[in-house]
Amino acid sequence: MISRCSNDNSSGMRPSATERPNAGTIRVSEIFGPTVQGEGAVIGQPTVFVRTGGCDYRCSWCDTLYAVDSSFRELWRPLSPEAIMAEVNKLSGNKPLLVSLSGGNPAIQPLGGLIDMGHEQGYRFALETQGSVTKEWFAKLDNLTLSPKPPSSEMETDWDILSACVAAAGSDTDTALKIVVFDDVDYAYAKDVSRRYPQLPVFLQPGNHTPGTVDDEAPGVDMKGILERMRWLVDKVVEDQWFEATVLPQLHVLIWGNERGV
């Protein structure tokens, strides 16, 4: 069964495309690319991003508030799978590649049909979610990155749901953990997550402490600070002999700063 997202605007006012998406319609914040994936298991791979709008979390350091907070809802387009694949194909020149499903939390959208349609056209799909909502269509994904949020986010992890996400992905999907680490407490959390799912590869990523703001058209980036945090995390992993972890920065932030659309 493909889960459906609920439309939380059903006031009965003037029916516009943004107010009354059909069942199966996906709320899209932005579609852009091709660029290279900047994080985690598929780092460096050419990809088109489909970023969905809406999130059940409010992480303290969220770097994509424009795809999270409902005050930006009027910027999110309700699109059918057909319309999304048309845009993806336009960007890719009709040549299949990896599609990165991101958010917000893309798991709250009805993405099963999109994945089926894209697969028929030769595309692959990677999705990243915090693991707070599980869907049966996770099993259709080529890559699933579960990125439960550490204490610095001020969110709480529901371990039962996270485990259900792992189970839903099954054995045909390459599943990995990715934990953002800002400090020692986050690091301890990451180790705890890894202990719970020893079968999954773990990617550690230093936190972005200068994510820019929504209105900032040319946000700066504290490159020195970002590199210091990367060195700190590598040192930490080495001293701790956590040799099973993979440590990667946000490559896109190093290359393009905090700009959107790359």
State phi, psi for 44 to the nearest 5 degrees: 85, -10
Pick out residues in 85-144 that bind its own copies (CB under 8 A).
92-93, 95-98
CB 74 within 8 A of CB 25: no
Terminal CA-to-CA distance of the chain, rounded, Å? 34
Q: Which of 79, 2, 94 is nearest to 48 (CA)?
A: 94
Exactly one of 237, 250, 253, 258 binds its own copies (CB under 8 A); that residue is 237
> 157 Cβ partners below 8 Å, 6+ apart?
131, 132, 148, 149, 193
The minimum distance between CB 143 and its own copies, in angstroms, equals 14
**Cα 84 to Cα 175: distance, rounded to the nearest angstrom:** 24
Burial label for 253, CB within 10 Å (0-12, 13-18, 19+), is buried
Q: Which among 42-50, 159-167, 190-198, 210-218 is the span making contact with its own copies, rule CB under 8 A? A: 42-50
Pick out residues in 65-94 that bind its own copies (CB under 8 A).
92-93
Exactly one of 44, 220, 225, 261 binds its own copies (CB under 8 A); that residue is 44
Q: Based on the shown chain and the rule CB under 8 A, indicate whether residue 200 belongs to the binding site for its own copies.
A: no
Residue closer to its own copies by CB (options 61, 256) is 256
Q: How many residues bind its own copies (CB under 8 A)?
A: 34
Query: What is the contact surface with its own copies in residues (CB under 8 A)?
Result: 33-36, 43-46, 92-93, 95-98, 203, 223, 227, 230-231, 234, 237-238, 241-243, 245-249, 251, 254-256
